[in-house]
Chains A and B, each alone.
Chain A
């Protein structure tokens, strides 16, 4: 942990180190994206990719690259950014390192609303209207907000202690998961299967349309998150200290939660419930650049993006031509880390 005084000469050094790290991660992500563009059931050599990118590839290569792989990779990057930064904010607000929107019920709240919405739409008419898909992030946001509100209300006891918040969140998660199952059992077989695949976290059906649905949410709420990062850092000093420093803690907490819910819900609406990203990425980021959220959020967003792009490349190559839901791969990577955290965290 580096608690560096803002006027200290060390500041520049730490800043430079964080910037360097951020740029390194960006470079790593770029390399991964290039590898990911070339990997999949149909092989593309780096030369093919270069030719296609410079406009002299075959029609099939262009189709594969521009319409199938590129939107999918961009979606992976966006989802990674959304979920990781949401996780960072949640952990900051709750001051609990294990608070992940996937764990405390924000994902399942969003998922419940989305599946309920899809179910109701499928009941009322045969063909889902075009607006249904554009509405999905909003529905997910409503679900995530509902979950967050429920947690907040239930955990309220003359203010909210971080531990209560997380415990109540786990309860809410269980509740929404059960409700979700209830709807799924009422669905037709094909809808049920689709819901299962979607819920386990999947971006294989990515298209530019899905990218366009998600991108406004990231573009609006990520800058807001970065803007609020300083307040989040102040809140880490403890509630009394933060109030003493002139922070309206309760108000800021609500704002930060709204931002985090928006980021995670929009990601969930296109990719389903990918757990552990919101947990692992902020943790690694904290280890790398310390607990200051101004530095930690960008780095954790980068790590989130890298994690999902990497997992998705694995998801579509390891059993090609069949695909594995990306959420499962992330879990395979994330679950051991979660257990490691549980073992090493001392009360």
Chain B
């Protein structure tokens, strides 16, 4: 398991390094929806006057600084790292105790900031650019703007590709962002062909177990999009019916049994649960065929982003082999 994580991470690092190289050669002025980018030759003097202006998710025109060095993009670290950008601070909860553990190989030296971004905590890092996903009130964005230019994303939080492209555009790494997506898709094809080879036409579900509550991933979101959209597992009909507007929908053990799912990716931190003793659980095809794969809740399954998804692809491959 550890080896798998390490290999996935090193692959990610490798990809990130590739992107980094790409970046240096690219650096062309961006065009789509961007007011005249500044090329390298223009140098520092013009950079200040000719900075790019983009319209953000709140409809504000945000002046994007040239080559921001200290970026705060809380809960968007995955995308930043994919572009080889290290943020000035990283998302955290519970006074810095809870972080995105699956990214810690790259973020371990990055200080934490509370998830709700108190103004003074943001000021402490003296950011020169702030990127925010949540639709905040204009009042609050105005306050952040006093600290540094603040950009609220347009992209839907449930669409990582759209998010990746937008962040690429904002940070003037458009082509690098495309490369991240292309390389991910290539990587996903490998997984898909492995799934076709090993488990053609079989169904799968990712189930998050908290004590005795079960949640199933939305088929088009988070690791659900990877499982079905990218790796090509069949979607059990129950999963399709359950999904409404949540990334993870509550599901009963009865409904889970009804799925007759062939592969079960179980996200759970408990070694044992009374649920697994249940007859209904025992009758799930995946349980009978020894195709239940357990992951802890800090792993990439619950997240969004190219790095998270890449790790999930690795988990899938390792599980079905």
Contacts and interface: CB of A to CB of B under 8 A. Distances in A.
Contacts, number: 68
Contacts of B121: 41, 320-322
Interface string A109-129: 000000000000000001110
B138 A67 contact: no
A322 to B, nearest CB: 4
Interface string B38-66: 00000000000000000000110000000
Interface stretch (A22-30, A205-213, A283-291): A205-213
A190 interface: yes
A335 interface: no
B137 interface: yes
Nearest to A118: B137
A205 B58 CA distance: 18
Interface residues of B, number: 24
A42 B123 contact: yes
A188 B247 CA distance: 12
Contact of B143 (A67, A320, A321): A67
B139 interface: yes
B120 A42 contact: yes
A185 interface: no
Given A41-B118, A41-B120, A42-B124, A68 B137 contact: no
Contacts of A320: 120-121
A48 interface: no
Interface in B109-149: 113-114, 116, 118-121, 123-124, 126, 134-135, 137-140, 142-143, 146-147
A67 B146 contact: yes
B123 A207 contact: no
Interface string A312-327: 0000100111110000
B105 to A, nearest CB: 25
A319 B123 contact: no
A64 interface: yes
Given A42-B124, A64-B123, A322-B118, A127 B142 contact: no
A60, A205, A210: most-surrounded residue (chain B CB, <10 A): A205
B146 to A, nearest CB: 5
Given A64-B120, A209-B139, A322 B146 contact: no
A316 B119 CA distance: 11
A41 B137 contact: no
A321 B146 contact: no
A322 B120 contact: no
B95 A133 contact: no
A128 B137 contact: yes
A41 B135 CA distance: 25
A323 to B, nearest CB: 5
A341 interface: no
A197 B138 CA distance: 17
A40 interface: yes
A63, A190, A194, A322: most-surrounded residue (chain B CB, <10 A): A322
B124 A130 contact: no
Interface string A29-68: 0000000000011100000000000000000100110011
Interface of B: 58-59, 95, 113-114, 116, 118-121, 123-124, 126, 134-135, 137-140, 142-143, 146-147, 245
3 pairs of A and B residues whose beta carbons are closest in the complex? A321-B121, A41-B120, A322-B114
Given A188-B245, A321-B118, 17 more contacts: A40-B120, A60-B123, A63-B146, A64-B120, A64-B123, A68-B119, A130-B138, A190-B135, A205-B140, A207-B139, A207-B142, A209-B142, A316-B118, A320-B120, A321-B113, A322-B116, A323-B114
Interface of A: 40-42, 60, 63-64, 67-68, 126-128, 130, 133, 188, 190, 194, 197, 204-205, 207, 209-210, 316, 319-323
